[in-house]
Amino acid sequence: MLRQPSVIHSDRDILGGTPVFVGTRVPLRNLIDYLEGGYSLDEFIDAFPSVSRQQAVAALEAAHEALVDRARVDR
């Protein structure tokens, strides 16, 4: 399976290394906080227009894959 380019990166010169969406200063944590708070993906995108829907979905898919991979290793 081909790996897609990451939509999240960390650079110590951007928010002290907090993981952010590539090309923005929007932390990944903001997306998680919105979803945990009961807000929709559309509401997140409306609040942070520099993050595309494609980026947000790709970040969620990558998080899902990481959790599934970890669950398999922990067996």
For range 19-48, the mean pLDDT: 97
CA distance 75 to 69: 10
CATH architecture of 8-73: Orthogonal Bundle (1.10)
Q: Indicate the domain borders of the chain.
A: 8-73
The conformation of residue 27, written as its DSSP 8-state character, comes to B
Predicted confidence at residue 2, as pLDDT, reads 47
Q: What is the token pair recorded at 51?
A: 């993050």
Predicted confidence at residue 1, as pLDDT, reads 45
Question: Per residue in 34-51, pLDDT tens?
Answer: 999 999 999 999 999 999
For range 56-64, the mean pLDDT: 94
